Amino acid sequence: MNRAYMKNETFDGTYPFKPHFEKINGFNMHYADEGTGEPIVCLHGEPTWSYLYRNFIKELSKANRVIAPDQMGFGKSDVPQDKEYLMKEHVENFTQLLLRLDLENITLVIQDWGGPIGLGFAVDHAERIKRLVIMNTSVGIMNEDRKPWYAILEEKGIYKQFIMNIEGLIKGGIYQKDNITESMINAYTAPFPSEEYYIGAFAWPKDIPVGDSHPSAPIMSHVRNNLDKLLEKDKILIWGMKDPIFPEKTIEWWHKIYPEIKTFQIQYASHFLQEDAPLEIIRIIKKFLGET
């Protein structure tokens, strides 16, 4: 299933970028590709798409080439119905795209599921990575005896209903409610005109590995166990402190992995910190680029 209706949609001019597509693993993967120079690659998570980085693309493409893909099943990318939407597929898709574009000296900007998926590429192609910008994400396997956050929704029989409330999910992950606009909500809800289009959004929460027998446990372990391959890369941590999904203690976890990582806490930002504090985060990234 494709989203031809979205191909040239700019959402009231808020996403004015020419669409680019690559046939990756049997589906058309969309990505924004603006500017020239050293590449910055921005990767989204649930249930967003490259629209999340529109302000970053506009500003950072003045001095760099900025690439922002839509992961399989999201944004302007196709929604294949014959895929499992497991982490290994998403990593493979992302890897194929970046290798086809033959990118080197990459500054990788990651958040939410963009974290483990982006790092899935980075740990196996560390020679292509120059810098990391890590925002509100984590990599790991939940203990077998722990209940994932969505378990209660499944018990109540409202899991799908919850995920299909995209407007509610977006608004719930933005602390600065004044930043929410009609164009923004339209942009985030447009990729999901009917239930079949939610296949990727339904799959992602359940792909968080709970125990070592989970189908995505092997690749998540592989990423987690190889994060030291990126130890020498320049990196910063930018954190929305009002995030209910990745709380403050996740910062401590990252500091154990990368003790030298410089951390910027955005006090009045939630899970979608790119919407809460785009200008502040862009300033931090620009300074980071200039210093490294």
pLDDT tens column, 12-26: 999 999 999 999 999
3-state secondary structure of 35: coil
The predicted pLDDT at position 149 comes to 87
Cis peptide preceding 47, ω within 30 of 0: yes
Give the distance from CA 159 to its chain's centroid.
21
User: Nearest Cα to 46, choosing from 130, 125, 164?
Assistant: 164
> What one-letter code names the amino acid at 113?
W
Q: Does pTM surpass 0.95?
A: yes
Task: Say whether 228 is catalytic.
Answer: no
- Decide if pLDDT at 114 tops 90: yes
| Contacts of 121 by beta carbon, 8 Å cutoff, 6+ apart | 91, 94, 95, 98, 108
- Exactly one of 112, 207, 234, 276 is catalytic; name it: 112
- Exactly one of 70, 78, 234, 243 is catalytic; name it: 243
- Decide if pLDDT at 148 tops 90: no
User: And the tokens for 213?
Assistant: 């027998």
> Mean pLDDT, the chain, as a whole number?
97
Helix axes 114-124, 217-225, angle to 10 degrees: 60
Q: Report DSSP state, residue 186.
A: H
3-state helix, strand, coil in the chain (%, to 5): 40, 15, 40
Contact call for residues 29 and 69 (beta carbons, < 8 A): yes
Task: Say whether 102 is catalytic.
Answer: no
The predicted pLDDT at position 16 comes to 98
Q: Report DSSP state, residue 260.
A: T
User: And the tokens for 150?
Assistant: 């969505």
| Contacts of 180 by beta carbon, 8 Å cutoff, 6+ apart | 170, 171, 174, 275
- Position of tokens 């620009």? 286
Q: Report DSSP state, residue 216.
A: T
- Exactly one of 44, 90, 214, 271 is catalytic; name it: 271
Task: Say whether 243 is catalytic.
Answer: yes
Contact call for residues 187 and 14 (beta carbons, < 8 A): yes
Q: What is the mean pLDDT of residues 98-110?
A: 98
Give the distance from CA 113 to its chain's centroid.
5
Residue 37's region, left for phi above 0, alpha for psi from -120 to 50, else beta, is left
Specify the fold of 4-291. Answer: Rossmann fold (3.40.50)
230-248 pLDDT per residue, tens = 999 999 999 999 999 999 9
